[in-house]
Structure 1
Amino acid sequence: MKRLLFITLLLTFSVTHTALADEKQLELDIDASALTLLALEVGVGQIQIDTANTDRIQLKVTVRGEKRWWFFSHKVGDVELKQQWRDDRLHLSIPKDNTKQHWQLTLPAELAVKVELGVGQFYANRIHSSYDVDVGVGQISSSLNAEQFQRIELSAGVGNVNLHNAPSSFKSERHLVGGSLEWSGPGSTVFKANVGVGDISLTHKD
């Protein structure tokens, strides 16, 4: 009985230790006053963006190792946030295979954003700067004031595209398995989104 209890406790400790070793959190807080573009590159995971009246980029990323078998996962203890600066542009990525990454960002409202996400979900809240979002497989959703944009372009290879509560009419096309949508307005910025397989859903909010 004691031997069985010891083995059980040992296995419990091993599982807990493995779980902790298979998750890592990274943070970044930097001055973005001189930046015009932030580019994000993520393999698998989620990206959530909020905008604020700030001149800083605040970022938290939770990186988890994907399961290999039973309760063992790929280790993420050595992952690092890669920063590439090019004049007034910043490119961020975590180049680590076999991981799922949850990105949470608070950005200056005027900062343009470019996103490449392989598989997962992208969400941005109340944006009005230029965005260019490309997702291989997954979903794109955002709330925005459409009238602050000059153009909105949405495209899904396989899936649906929608602009809810649009302030005026838009052009949409539907083919066998996918579709596209274009809207023109009085603003000065552009929102472009493309998904290979999945859905795009935008909601207009005044």
Structure 2
Amino acid sequence: MNKTIIAASLLLSTFAASALLAGETRQLSTEIEVSPSTIAMLDVRVGNIDIRPSKDNNIHIDIKISESEEWFSDNIQNAELAIKEKDDRIMIRVGPEGKEYEENWTVYLPAVKKLDLDVGVGEADIEDINTDMNVDVGVGTIQIRGNQQDFSKIKVESGIGDTRIKAEDGKNFSERHLVGGTSFWEGSGQHSIQADVGVGDASIRLN
């Protein structure tokens, strides 16, 4: 067997191994007890997150980790949950620092003082979370659905993309500029929402 054939065989073996690893995933899960005074800070670098109400006083988190689409991606077996607590704040993200994976989060959130969500690239989908919210997505989409009696003020901004707030009552108006826009809503509830997306669309529907 000459060197060319050997090299070709090694190359094919490498691609075959990469193809097998491409479908590999890892599951990270945790359950954390919190109080109504807690500020929950969630950090998603690349991926999607769905947030729904919890049936108890715990934050339930399930994250499906897979390799990113980068040519040289990080080994998902090194992925771990990084949780930091200070005073009433709890920050949750996927570590180690500096590593990048595809992250798909499912979160069940109890009554807390505030939700602070940061997504680098991906989609944020939030439903029936009755608290103050600050949601920031760099590139992707934001979708929030809730009850209008729970909120007093909502502001949604997009640098490049569309914004929309749908509600049956309250004061609702929008401003559009060249490539982006801002939408506002005011009601009689007690909580507020600030949602920002750099590139992409953001929409809120209040029932």
**TM-score, normalization by structure 1:** 0.85
Looking at structure 2, the residues matched to 98 and 78 of structure 1 have their Cα atoms a distance apart, in angstroms, of 10
**What residue is the counterpart of 2:78 in the other structure?**
78
Which amino acid in structure 2 is aligned with residue 79 of structure 1? A
Q: Deviations over 1:27-69 (max 9, x none)?
A: 0012113652100111110011001342011000011112345
Corresponding residue to 1:40 among 24, 39, 42: 42
Look up the equivalent residue of 1:45 and give its one-letter code: G
**Contact 1:53 1:109 (8 Å CA) reproduced:** no
Q: How many residues align?
A: 194
CA offset at residue 165 of structure 1?
3.3
1:166 offset after TM fit, Å? 3.7
Shift of 1:89: 1.1
Deviation per CA, 1:76-107, whole angstroms, max 9, x where unpaired? Answer: 10111101101111001113533110010001
Retained in 2: the 8 A contact 1:51–1:126?
Answer: yes
CA distance in 1, matches of 2:70, 2:123: 23
SS of aligned partner of 1:94: strand
1:160-185 per-residue CA deviation (whole Å, 9 max, x = no partner) reads: 11112342331211111111111111
CA distance in 1, matches of 2:16, 2:159: 46
Query: Could you say which residue in structure 1 is the equivalent of 2:90?
Result: 90
Matched, 1:183 2:185: yes
Residue equivalent to 2:25: 23
The corresponding residue for 2:158 is 156
Tell me how far apart the structure 1 counterparts of residues 168 and 45 of structure 2 sit (CA, whole Å).
32
SS of 2:47's equivalent in the other structure is: strand
State the identity %.
31
- AA aligned to 2:30 is L
What residue identity is the alignment partner of 1:152? I
Change (3 A) 1:111 1:27: farther
Evaluate the alpha carbon distance shift between residue 199 and residue 68 of structure 1 in structure 2; reply closer, same or farther with a 3 A threshold: closer
SS at match of 1:67: coil
From 192, 198, 202, give the equivalent of 1:200.
Answer: 202
Please give the secondary structure, in 1, of the residue aligned with 2:80: coil
TM-superposed deviation, 1:12: 11
In structure 2, list runs of 5 or more residues that go unmatched: 1-12
Residue 75 of structure 2: SS of its match in structure 1? coil
Give the match for residue 105 of structure 1: 107
- TM-score norm. by structure 2 comes to 0.84
Q: Which amino acid aligns with 1:18?
A: L
Q: 2:69 aligns with which of 67, 83, 92?
A: 67
**5+ long unaligned stretches in structure 1:** 1-9
Q: Once the two structures are superposed, what CA deviation does each residue of 1:99-144 show, in whole Å capped at 9, x if it has no partner? A: 1100100010345210111110000111221110000010000111
Q: Is the 8 A contact 2:128 2:145 kept in 1?
A: yes
